[in-house]
Chains A and B, each alone.
Chain A
Amino acid sequence: MKKIIVIVMFSWFGLHSLEVEAQTIQWTSFDNLTDSLRKERRPLLVFIHTDWCKYCKMMEVKTFTDPLIVNTLNRSFYCLDLNAEEALSLTFLNKKYKFKPSGVNTGIQELAEILGTENGKLSYPTTVFFDQNLQVQNRVVGALEAKQLLKLLPVNE
C-alpha cells in the first residue's frame, strides 16, 4: 500500500514538473469588439469550444499560453473566446446572435453554428480566422498545437 502511495505521489509530481506554466491570451469580449475595431482594424481569431471538450481545454492551457503565440496574437489580433454552449445572446459585427436551447441547461449559440460549421457539421474545437478586412480566411476544425497555429498566423506580413 505504501509503495503504491509512493508511486502515485512520484508520478503526480513527475507530471507536475513536465507541465508548462505561462501567460495567456488577452481575450477581447464580444461587447468590446465593436469599439476595438473602430479604433483599429485587426484580424480576428475566434476560438469555438465547449466546457466538456478536452481538446479545447488542451488548446486553452497549452496553445494559447505559448509565448510566441501569445505575443503575436496579443500584438496584432483581436481574439474572441466563443463558448458554443453558453446560454447568452451575443453581438458580433453589429449583428445579434441568439442561444438556442435544446434541453434544460443545454443548447447552442447561433454564432458558433454559423462560423464553425464545416461540411454540414460543427465540431469542437474549431478556430476561425478573419483578416483585417473582416473576411473569413480560414477555418480549422480540430485542436491546434502552438507550432501548427503559428504556421497559420500571418506573422511575417
Chain B
Amino acid sequence: MRKMYVLLAFLLAQISVLAQTGSIRGTVTVKGKPLEFGTAALKGTQYGTTTDEKGIFEIKNVKYGTYQLVISAIGYRNITKSVTISEAKFFQELTLQTEELENSLAEVVVTGTMKEVSKLDSPVPVEIYTPVFFKRNPVPNLFESLQNINGIRPQLNCNVCNTGDIHINGLEGPYTMIMIDGMPIVSGLSTVYGLSGIPSALIERVEIVKGPASTLYGSEAVGGLINVITKKPSSAPLVSADVMATSWAEFNTDLGIKYKLGEKAQALFGLNYFNFQRPTDKNGDGFTDITLQNRISLFNKFSFERKDNRLFTIGGRYVQENRWGGQTQWTPKYRGSNEIYAESIYTKRWEVIGAYQLPIKEKITFQFSANGHNQDSYYGNIPYNAQQYIGFGQFTWDKKAGERHDLLIGTALRYTFYDDNTPATAVDTKNAPSKIILPGIFAQDEIKLNVNNKLLLGLRYDYNSIHGNILTPRLNYKWTSTDKKNVMRLSFGNGYRVANVFTEDHAALTGARKVVFTEELKPERSWNGNLNYVRKFFLSNGSFVSLDGTAFYTFFNNRIIPDYLTDPNKIIYSNLNGNAVSRGISLNVDFSLTNGLKLMAGATAMNVFQREDDGSGKLVKMTQLLTEKFTGVWSVSYAFQRIGLSIDYTGNLYGPMKLPVLGPLDPRPTYSPWWSLQNIQLTKKFNSGLEIYGGVKNLLNFTPTKDAIARAFDPFDKQVTFDAAGQVVATPNNPYALTFDPSYVYAPNQGIRMFAGVRYNLFK
C-alpha cells in the first residue's frame, strides 16, 4: 500500500513538472526578411537558442515564470521583451522585428546574458605595442632608435653639426627607401628626416627589408626598405603623450592623437618637440659636445573609408629645425663670421605622401609623394643655402593572373629640382639649378610555384634626363617550410643612384676642408645579393626562439667615395677607377620566455672596401673610412608582470674603424678603439594608462678622445702656416702640421647621463 502511495506521488510529481513548463516560439525579421543566427535567450537563465533560416526560434521546457526575452545578433539592435509563461499561457508565439545598427562598428561586448564567464587570472603576452622594442632605450626619434636593430646603423656624419643618416649593411642612407604605411617618401634626405615626428605610440611596427626589394621602389632602393606602419584606428590610443628629460637638459615631447573627420575619415596626428639649449663642453676642447637643437615635427595622416575596400590615404609632415654646434661662446650674432666658429643650420621641410585607388573594377592605385626642403646654413664663415623640391607620381596595376601569378605593372614619374649657392648648381658662374626628370616603367610577376616556394621577377626601366637609360632587374625567391618555422629569402638586384654630394654628405660642407671635384661625377652602379634564413623555434615550455642569419654582398663598379687622405685640406670627389665591395654576414637571436624574460642579440661582421687603380693599372685594396668591421647589438628585458615593473638593458658594440687622419705627422691613431654604448632603464606601468620610466644612458661613460676635432682652438686656421703649394708647414704652435678638422669622428661626444620620463595612453 505504501508502495502505491509512493508511486502515485511520483506520478503526480511528474505530471506537475510537465505541466509547469511551456515554450516560447518566435519569428525575428529585419525589414521583413528573416534574421538567421540571432540569439534568443532568457536573461539570467540557462534558456537560449538561435533563429533558423526562416528567422524562427523555439525555447522549450521553460518553467512557469516571467522572463526577459533578449534577441541579439552582431550588428543588430537588441530586442528585450517581457514574456510570462503560466498555466494559462504555456505557449507563447511572438513576432519580433529588429533593425540593423547604423554604427555597425560598435565593439561587441561580452554579454554573458545567460551565464557567468570564466576569466583567466594570469596575464598573457600581447603584441600590440611592438614599439616596446623602441621604448627599451627611449630616444627622441625613430632615427636614433634604429640603433637597436642589427645591421642598421644611424651614422653621425658630422662631429659639429651632428647630422646623420642610416646605413644598412654598410650602404649609405640614399640606398634605403623610407616608407610610411607602404607609401614611399621619395627623397635623398628621407633617411635623415623621414623618421621624425611620428610618436612611437602611433607606430604599430617598423618593417625592415634588408637588401634589394621589389622593383616598385625604384633603382635607388637597393640597400633596403624601412616601412613605418602606423596604428590602425582600432589599436591607436585616443591620446598619447610622452615627455622625457635628461640630465644634460635635453627635453623631448611626443604627442599623438587619433580623431575622426566626419563619418568616413580617420586621422592620426603626431607632434614631436625636441629641445636642447645648454652648450656643454665636458671634454674641454672648446666645442659643444653635442649640437644644440630646437626641432618641431608635425605629422598627420588621413584614411578615408570608400566603397569596395578601396584605398585612399594621405599624409603630411612638416619639420622645422634650428641647430648649431661649435665653439661654446658662439651666439647667433657670430653667424657667418670668422671670429667664433659654429655650424648653424636652419631647416624647413614639408612632405606629402598618399595613395588613391581608382574607382574602377581593376585594382589601379595612384601613389604620390612631394617634398620641399630648405636649408639655410653657415659652416663657419661659409654659407650654404639649398632648396630641393621633389615630385613623384606612380600608377600601379595589380592583377591576379590565374592561381599562381600576381602581376604588377606600373609607370612612374619623378621630378627633382635642386639649387644651392655652390658651384654645383652653376654654369659659367651663372646660377643654373639642376632639374631632373625621371620617367620609368616597371613590371613584376610574383609566382607562387607551390605552397612552399614563391618567386618574384621584376624589371624596371627609367630614363634619367641627364644620365640616360637605367635598367633595374630584380629577383626575389622565398621558401617557407610547410610548418612555417623555416623561411629562406634570396634577393638579387642592382642599384643606381646619382650622388648628390651636397645634400647627402655634410662633411663636404664643414668649412674645414675644400671640396674638389676632379671630374664630372657619374652615377653609382651596384649589384647586390642577399641571402636570409629565419628559423623559429617554439619550445614546449612556451618559449620562443628565433634565429635570423643574413649574408650580403654588394659590388659597385662606380662609387663616389670622398677622399680625405690624399690631401688633408681637401675632400676630393671623383669616379672610382676600379670597384668597391660591401660584404658581410649578420646573425640575430631573439629569445622570449613566457615568464617575461626577453633577450635579443645581433652581430654583424662586414668588410667594406674599394679597389682602385694606383696609376699603374694595378688595383689596390683600401678599407673604407669610418666603417667598422664588427658591430653587435643587444637588449635584455625582464617584466615583473604582477607589479607592472620592467627593466631593460640595451647596448651596442662597435669594432675599430679607419679614421681620416691629417697627414703623416698626425699623432692620432689611424683606427678607433673598440667602443660600446650601454643603457639601463626601469619602467613602471599603472593601470590608469600612465607609465613612468627612468634610467642611465651611456653607462660606461664612453666618449671619443678630446682631440677628435683637430685644432679646435683655431677653427679658422689663423695660426696655421701654409707653404707655396698650399700644404701645412709644421710650426712650434702646430708641431703636427694639422688644420682645423672635425671629420675624425666615430662616436657621439655625449657621456653618461640620466633620463626620466612619463608616458600616458588613453584608449577609447
Least CB separation from B117: chain A residue: A138
Q: Is the CB of B232 within 8 A of A108?
A: yes
* Interface membership of A69, Cβ < 8 A: no
By a CB distance below 8 angstroms, the chain A residues around B234 are 108, 112-113, 117, 121-122
A144, B124: Cα distance in complex, Å: 7
Whether, in the assembled complex, B229 has its beta carbon less than 8 Å from a beta carbon of chain A, the answer is yes
Enumerate chain A residues within 8 angstroms of B181, measured Cβ to Cβ.
102-104, 106
Find the residue from B107, B233, B544, B547 having the highest chain A CB count within 10 A.
B107
Check if B127 sits within 8 Å of A151, measured CB to CB: no
Partner of B120, one of A114, A119, A136, A151: A151
Q: Contacting B48 at CB < 8 Å: which of A94, A95, A135? A: A135
Please give the distance in Å from A99's CB to the nearest CB on chain B: 5
Identity of the chain A residue whose Cβ is nearest the Cβ of B309 in the assembled complex: A99
A70 on interface, CB distance cutoff 8 Å: no
Give B117-135 as 1s and 0s: 1 = Cβ < 8 Å from A's Cβ atoms. 1111011111110100000
Q: Are B111 and A54 in contact (CB under 8 A)?
A: no
Q: Are A103 and B105 in contact (CB under 8 A)?
A: no
A31 at the interface (CB under 8 A from B): no
- Distance in Å: Cβ of A113 to nearest Cβ of chain B: 4
**Interface range on chain B (Cβ under 8 Å from partner):** 35 or more
Task: Say whether A107 contacts B542, CB under 8 Å.
Answer: no
Tell me how far the C-beta of A146 lies from the nearest C-beta in chain B, rounded to whole angstroms. Answer: 9
Chain A: which residue is nearest B589 at the CB level?
Answer: A11
List of A residues within 8 angstroms of B703 by Cβ: none
Whether A104 touches B183, Cβ cut-off 8 Å, given contacts A123-B127, A133-B39, A144-B124, is yes
A120 touches B594 (CB 8 A): no
Please state if A105 and B182 are interface contacts (CB–CB under 8 Å). yes
Q: A69 CB to closest chain B CB, in angstroms?
A: 14
* Interface SS of A by simple majority: mixed
- Whether A104 pairs with B74 at a CB distance below 8 angstroms is no
**Is B123 touching A104 in the complex (CB atoms < 8 A)?**
no
A103 touches B182 (CB 8 A): yes
> Is the Cβ of A55 less than 8 Å from the Cβ of B127?
yes
Chain A: interface residue total (CB-CB under 8 A): 70
Q: Which of A55, A87, A94, A118 contacts B125 (CB 8 A)?
A: A55
Select which of B114, B355, B485, B537 is within 8 A of A104 by beta carbon.
Answer: B355
Flag if B120 contacts A148 (CB, 8 Å): yes
Which chain B residues border A93 with CB–CB below 8 Å?
Answer: 36-37, 73-74
Inter-chain CA distance A100–B265, complex, in Å, is 11
Q: Does B219 contact A (CB under 8 A)?
A: no
Closest to A33 in B: B37
Interface residue from A20, A105, A133 paired with B50 (Cβ < 8 Å): A133
Q: A98-B309, A136-B111 are in contact. Are A54 and B546 (CB under 8 A)?
A: yes
Interface mask (A17-60 → B, CB under 8 Å = 1, otherwise 0): 01111000000000000000110010000000000111111101
The answer to whether A143 touches B124, judged by C-beta atoms less than 8 angstroms apart, is: yes
Complex: A36 Cα to B113 Cα, angstroms: 25
Q: For residue A103, which residues in chain B have a CB less than 8 angstroms away from its CB?
A: 180-183, 229-230, 303, 311, 313, 355
For residue A89, CB closer than 8 A to chain B, the reply is yes
Which residues of B in the span 476-530 have a Cβ within 8 Å of any Cβ on A? Answer: 483-485
Q: Which residue on B lies nearest to A94, using beta carbons?
A: B36
Asked if A67 CB lies within 8 Å of chain B CBs, one says: no
Asked whether B118 lies within 8 Å of A152 as measured between CB atoms, the reply is yes
Q: Which residues of B contact A89 (CB under 8 A)?
A: 309
A68 contacts partner chain B, Cβ-Cβ < 8 Å: no
The answer for the CA separation of A133 and B43 in the assembled complex, in Å, is 13
Are A104 and B182 within 8 A (Cβ)?
yes
Shortest Cβ gap from A82 to chain B (Å)? 13
- Closest partner residue, chain A, to B123 (CB atom): A142
Any A CB within 8 A of the CB of B401: no
Chain A residue with minimal CB distance to B549? Answer: A8
Q: In this complex, which of A102, A134, A139 has the most chain B Cβ atoms within 10 angstroms of its Cβ?
A: A102
Pick the residue among A53, A54, A138, A145 that contacts B542 (CB under 8 A): A145
| C-alpha gap A87/B126 in the complex (Å) | 23
Report the tally of A-B residue pairs with Cβ distances under 8 A: 213
A55 to chain B: closest CB distance in Å?
5
Is B545 in the interface zone, CB < 8 Å from A?
A: yes
Query: Is A110 part of the binding interface, using a Cβ–Cβ cutoff of 8 Å?
Result: yes
Query: Chain B contacts of A128 at CB under 8 A?
Result: 108
A137, B50: Cβ atoms closer than 8 Å: no
Of all chain A residues, which has the CB nearest B75?
A95
CB distance from A22 to the nearest CB of B (A): 10
* Complex Cα spacing A52 to B231, Å: 13
Whether B215 sits at the interface, judged by CB under 8 Å, is no
Query: Shortest distance in angstroms between B612's beta carbon and chain A's nearest beta carbon?
Result: 30
Task: With A100-B309, A103-B230, A135-B48 as known contacts, state yes or no: A37 contacts B37, CB within 8 Å.
Answer: yes
Within 8 A of A (CB), among B311-355: 311, 313, 355
B128 touching A121 by the CB < 8 A rule?
A: yes
Chain B residues with CB under 8 A of A104: 179, 181-183, 311, 355, 365, 367
Contact residue among A20, A53, A101 (Cβ-Cβ distance under 8 Å from B309): A101
Verify if A124 is at the interface (C-beta below 8 Å from B): yes
Any A CB within 8 A of the CB of B257: no
Closest residue of chain A to B109 (Cβ to Cβ) is A136
**A134 & B50 in contact (Cβ 8 Å cutoff):** yes
Contact A134-B39, Cβ < 8 Å, known A93-B74, A122-B128: yes
Is B448 at the interface (CB under 8 A from chain A)?
no
Q: How far is the CA of A141 from the CA of B110 in the complex (A)?
A: 12
A135, B542: Cα distance in complex, Å = 31
CB of B451 closer than 8 Å to a CB of A: no
The reply to whether the CB of B539 lies closer than 8 angstroms to some CB of chain A is yes
Chain A residues with Cβ below 8 Å from B130 are 52
A100 touches B120 (CB 8 A): no
Cβ contact within 8 Å between B127 and A101: no
Least CB separation from A104: chain B residue: B182
Bound Cα distance from A92 to B282, whole angstroms: 65
The interface residues of chain A lying within 8 Å CB-to-CB of B107 are: 113-114, 117-118, 120
> Would you call A115 and B108 a contact (CB within 8 A)?
yes
Once the chains are docked, how many angstroms separate the CA of A117 from the CA of B279? Answer: 48
Is there an interface contact between B49 and A133, defined as CB atoms closer than 8 Å? yes
* Chain B residues near A115 (CB-CB < 8 A): 74, 108
* Residues of chain A within 8 A of B311, CB atoms compared: 101, 103-104, 107
**Counting CB contacts under 8 A, is B21 at the interface?**
no
Q: CB of B567 within 8 A of chain A?
A: no
- Give the complex CA separation of A71 and B628 in angstroms: 55
CB-based contact A123/B540 at 8 Å: no
Contact (Cβ within 8 A) B114 A133: yes
Which A residues lie within 8 Å of B53 (CB)?
38
Chain B contacts for A134, CB-based, 8 A:
37-39, 50, 73
| Min C-beta distance of A19 to chain B, whole Å | 6
**14 sampled A-B residue pairs with Cβ under 8 A:** A12-B535, A19-B540, A38-B53, A54-B536, A61-B485, A99-B309, A101-B311, A103-B313, A112-B234, A113-B105, A120-B764, A122-B232, A122-B235, A137-B111
What would 7 more interface pairs be, CB under 8 Å, given A101-B309, A104-B367, A124-B128? A12-B535, A55-B127, A100-B303, A115-B74, A133-B114, A137-B117, A142-B125
**A residues apposed to B, CB below 8 Å:** 12, 15-16, 18-21, 37-38, 41, 52-58, 60-62, 87, 89, 92-95, 98-108, 110, 112-115, 117-125, 128, 131-145, 148, 151-152
| Pairs A-B, 4 closest by C-beta atoms | A103-B181, A142-B124, A104-B182, A123-B128
